Structure 1
Amino acid sequence: MPSSPRPWRSRCGCCVFGPGRWSRTRVFRVRDLLAEALASVVGPRRAKQAAVLEAWPEVVGASHARHTWIAGLRGSVLVVTTDLPALSYELGLRRAALVGALNRKAGGPAIDEIEIILCPPGGSPAGER
């Protein structure tokens, strides 16, 4: 007595291939998986702070991002260096708005303050004093 044909399964078990059909289990974006993995390894606050670093060029704009460098984080303070005195002054005036915009992009409170360091032209953009 012939048995009913079973659908072929791949070795991994996540794909089912058969005549005229192809289905997979749910597909995840790598970015989402990495965000979850980062949050589980370093904690949710550090994961949000990483999102702040990624969002900086978008929040300040391309022209300002060309003249600013993120030196790092000291606790919940974002340290940014710039080589233009006028830009340093402008970012200082916009500090509260930038903190709010960066926290919104990160999905919650990630930083409390932005420290702006003026780096002389030709100097190191690493924020060393």
Structure 2
Amino acid sequence: MTVRQLRLVVHASDYEGALAFFRDSLGMPQAEAFSGPGGAEVTILDAGRATLELCNDAQIDYIDEVEVGSRVAPHFRVALEVDDCEAATAAALEGGAMPVAPPTLTPWQSLNARFDAPGEVHLTLFQGD
């Protein structure tokens, strides 16, 4: 067996707001969209390469300490790699994300910013080296 795709499914009560944020503000291209009975809607956005990052409790504590200063992440956190963390931060804020921590240079040499984004998504935007 081979896993071919990681798809994170987000239940967004404010579907239009979450779609506008991730598609329009952050620039994630729309790959597919479907409508169903009773007003059902789904849009699949292209997030580039996907990975599954598994961390133990100590690593989660360490990441939050470095990026935010204290433990804030819920069970799941979405991290999106961007070309320019400062510009993506501005776009995220303009798109309605609530800031948690500004762009911070991490010991692993990435610039990371933290948000509570539309769709109740705890979000990291990161710029690698």
Bigger share in helix: 1
TM-score in terms of structure 1 length: 0.30
The structure number with the bigger radius of gyration is 1
Larger RCO: 1 or 2 (CA < 8 Å, sep 6+): 2
TM-score in terms of structure 2 length: 0.30
